[in-house]
Structure 1
């Protein structure tokens, strides 16, 4: 995951506003009360609050706040996390990551390490709050997956599950699975020399033509064209 991130230490948060990006707020010393979409959230110093893009929120708080803004567009699969505010108790790895980000911010605010730490923190939040059926897709995208299987994981009937899934992600289960497979295929096309046919099987397509059609539908290019495009872009970047 490589997202554009803005990380700062603020000393107050006041008034009602919203952002065109996702924001994570961590009060460092005292509790912070935030009104998000007319619901009150109390965020303790050992907690962090994720506020979705475009969601109105209001606070009247003075004190140190670690603020992490995710300013770049997300992949479809990331949007699962972002429908509602999330308040998370910082324990284990999440607490360690926030402490490491804070320490790095003090020593070298422009350090690239902060961005790597934040990317890892974000991936942990995504992992911890993704519904079981969506985690199943992420782990088993190379297998035949039916909507019935996914609905059973969530203990929903298929009709309700389709509606619930679209509410969670903005897309149907079939489209989400396709995007997941194509993202994995893109990684393999970039980082390996496996043939297109081999990669098709690795990401769950038994037929090369079906894989190519799905890949073009998502990216606008065939797998071969995408690989050639990335190679050309890399050569241009190196030459510059």
Structure 2
């Protein structure tokens, strides 16, 4: 079967020796047994059965498995993919576990080409909409200090590459993205509560109200006190 133009869904095993290549299609990998070491220019991943991994087209990667292994692989032709997809390493949550089950059924039957095509379209749409682990982490922890190294490790990126990847993904640097979330929350607290500046600054993870005020003025161009007065009437 010509994988460049046709969907392939099958089980595969991998050798202990590192193999390097790239392909003209996207590839989704589900470990069923064992693990797979995957290296790209920017990432190093040990893929285990609790996770799945998507490799975009034209990405040079090196891979091997040092133990007994079996993987469910979905090769996705370019015309099914949204433009400019990036690699995705994600937890095998309930949705992805359900997708794996459906793909396993398709791999067994190899008869329902239309059903596999529909499932592949669903998967590529999910790949396009999925929230990256580090972005999800930011939304949960933006009130706390966040280190770039922590975010990079969640994506298994080298820190030197993470900021560029993040900006390509969101259109903003991690610092700006986090600051905008904090600013939105600061405005919400200023207008929806009667909290003091000290309490709001503490809620947003600032050392004191003075540092919060300086930060707010730098981003908004006015003090939080004036912002509250001008927008609460």
Q: Which has the higher helix share?
A: 1
Query: What TM-score do the two structures reach when normalised by structure 2?
Result: 0.49
Bigger-Rg structure (1/2): 2
